[in-house]
Structure 1
Amino acid sequence: MPARPGNPPAVHRSHPAHGIPYLAPEWGLLFKAKAARPKDRADFGITLPLLSGTQRSTLADLLARVHPGHPWLAALRG
């Protein structure tokens, strides 16, 4: 399923077997970073080892822009 107009492929993806759209995990974590509630920190800890190098880099770059000094940056760059 192609991305909808206005949704870049980096943000909008589809499950390859089912075509179900979902938000790219690095973008989901970016939204969760603002409040960083206990469940958001848990999601980050669970998801971090599953992110590709590109996804980690994207999330680190975005966090540095919108939440400079965020505690997750150290884990992403370390």
Structure 2
Amino acid sequence: MSFEKCYKINKRMKDFNKGWYIAGGWAIDLFLEKQTRNHHDIEIAIARKNQLYLKEYLHNWTFNKVIKGDLSIWENEYLELPIHEIHGKSDKTKDELEVLLNEIELNEWKFRRDESITCKLNSFYSVTNEGIPYLNPEIVLLYKVRNTREKDHQDFKSVKDYLTIHKKAWLREAILIHHPNHEWLEDLI
């Protein structure tokens, strides 16, 4: 199993100095230091306030914003909530990347679906020994609670026993606020 896609993104983003993090299932696998399932795409998270810097950094890419499930060209407008997803494609290499905009101000992340759910930025992400930044698993899993698919259940099962007591408690409290009847709660006691 290989982290080739993650290494490739890390190399492409090495000079983007605004903070970025591998998200989704790849983040779970980076945390576990092994690939647990097939991934069809790769996602990164950035602070919403850095979206135009990213577009400038990847100036030879074409970007689309996602509005209610539909893609439309992203010009140079600043994207506000509820828009939080951008799809990019390199005009040169045809590489693709999904970008998730996160509400990060100063040293705090806020969950876009309920801003009462927060964490300090240093609890939001970690970095692999190879220098790849990724979202911590409890953050990734919180995003998967709303419309949980089979691959999301698989991610949860793969990582739940490796979460610290603190991470489990944070995730449990966040799920109780966001989706109080979710089935994962019984495994987070």
Give identity over the alignment, percent.
32
Larger radius of gyration: 2
1:9 aligns with 2:115: no
**Count of residues in correspondence between the two structures:** 74
Q: TM-score, normalised by structure 1?
A: 0.83
**Whole-Å Cα distance in 2 between the matches of residues 44 and 27 of structure 1?**
12
- Deviation larger for 55-64 or 17-26: 17-26
**Whole-Å Cα distance in 2 between the matches of residues 67 and 21 of structure 1?**
28
**Whole-Å Cα distance in 2 between the matches of residues 49 and 67 of structure 1?**
21
Residue 33 of structure 1: aligned partner: 145
Runs of 4 or more consecutive aligned structure 1 residues displaced over 2 Å after TM superposition: 4-7
Q: CA RMSD in A?
A: 1.8
Structure 1 residue 14 displacement after superposition: 1.7
**Whole-Å Cα distance in 1 between the matches of residues 125 and 168 of structure 2?**
17
Q: TM-score, normalised by structure 2?
A: 0.36
Aligned 1:24-63 pairs, distance under 5 A: 24-63=136-175
Q: Name the one with the larger helix percent.
A: 1
For structure 2, the residue ranges without an aligned partner over 5 or more in a row are 1-18, 20-103, 110-120
Structure 1 residue 33 displacement after superposition: 1.2
Structure 1 residue 12 displacement after superposition: 2.2
Q: Name the one with the larger strand percent.
A: 2
